[in-house]
Amino acid sequence: MIRKNPGLIKLLSTLLIVVASTAASAQEPSWVDLAVHNFGAPINTMWAEGELSFADDGTMVFCSAREDMAVAPGDPKDLYIATFDATTGSWNTPVNMGIPVNAAPATDVDPLRAGDDREPWITADGNTIYFKSDRLATTSPRNANDLFVIHKVNGQWSSPELIGFPISTNAGNEHCPAILQDGETLCFASLREGGYGGSDIYCSKPDGNGGWSEPINQGPNINTAAEEFHFTQDTSGMVYFTSARPGGYGGLDLWGSMNQGPNTWGPARNLGPHVNTAGADMCPALPPGGDTFSWFSTRPDNNLGNIDIFWTNKLNVAAP
């Protein structure tokens, strides 16, 4: 007959609790995983940094209001590009993409031509960039923005080409272009007639003749009477976008919705308080690797200027 030793049993129980607690702690995310990080220098500056996207090799394109590298005095925003250094795990010093990619102000031609170039979207292969510009803006008819595209040819970026009708229109103020995971569907925001109110998100596919098919409004789970723009899709089919709809944490929040078929999306859900604040949180972007999430924000904490670019581990993004 084996005699029970109460003292030994108590000791073993205590050790098991400690081991279990230690194992659980080892699996918990660290403070680095849970934090929201400022991209820091050389990306963020004392000036406003904004809309961004990434190629598969880590190349980053974004816009900035920095005055020390602008193509012309008074230029509100220019496009910048920064290559990724895999040896240091950081981005190299950004380069202003220069003229003719960025346009200088031409208010003498039309008061709306301020030289505002922003919202770049770079394709996965790093060879094509879509963006918004006011370089062809007209006061009458009032058309503040159009969409443009550039291509890398023999290592050099081409002159911007207007993406014409039915993408760019005279009344829609088209902006925030992005390509979905299929590599061909172009989505963008527009004020054109027939929407739900404010800027709505539309998507279009190539028509096979060098143009684009009639854009399709992405429906009431995406678009509301408020503003919707920026449309970024991950490999699972989830799309992330900016919206001013009610139910958020501030004026502009980031939301997500799962794809349910062509031009069909599930109910949109707020991405939660790690990402969204009482400030403006906008322009979702997905760095290579799939485990991090980035955006720009007016959030006051850890900010180098009035608007900075931030990133966090994707585990902090509330699942839509």
Report the C-alpha gap between 228 and 94 in whole angstroms: 29
Residue 302, phi-psi category: left (phi > 0), alpha (psi -120 to 50), beta (remainder): left
Report the C-alpha gap between 203 and 213 in whole angstroms: 9
Greatest alpha-carbon pair distance for the chain in Å reads 102
Per-residue pLDDT of the chain (320 residues; tens, 9 = 90+): 434 444 433 433 333 333 333 333 446 778 778 899 999 999 999 999 999 999 999 999 999 999 999 999 999 999 999 999 988 888 999 999 999 999 999 999 999 999 999 999 999 999 999 999 999 999 999 999 999 999 999 999 999 999 999 999 998 899 999 999 999 999 999 999 999 999 999 999 999 999 999 999 999 999 999 999 999 999 999 999 999 999 999 889 999 999 999 999 999 999 999 999 999 999 999 999 989 999 999 998 878 888 999 999 999 998 77
Other residues' Cβ atoms within 10 Å of the Cβ of residue 302: 13
Instruction: Catalogue all structural domains in the chain, each as residue range(s) with its CATH number.
Output: 31-316 (2.120.10.30)
Other residues' Cβ atoms within 10 Å of the Cβ of residue 38: 18
Cα atoms in the Cβ-side hemisphere of radius 13 Å centred on 37: 15
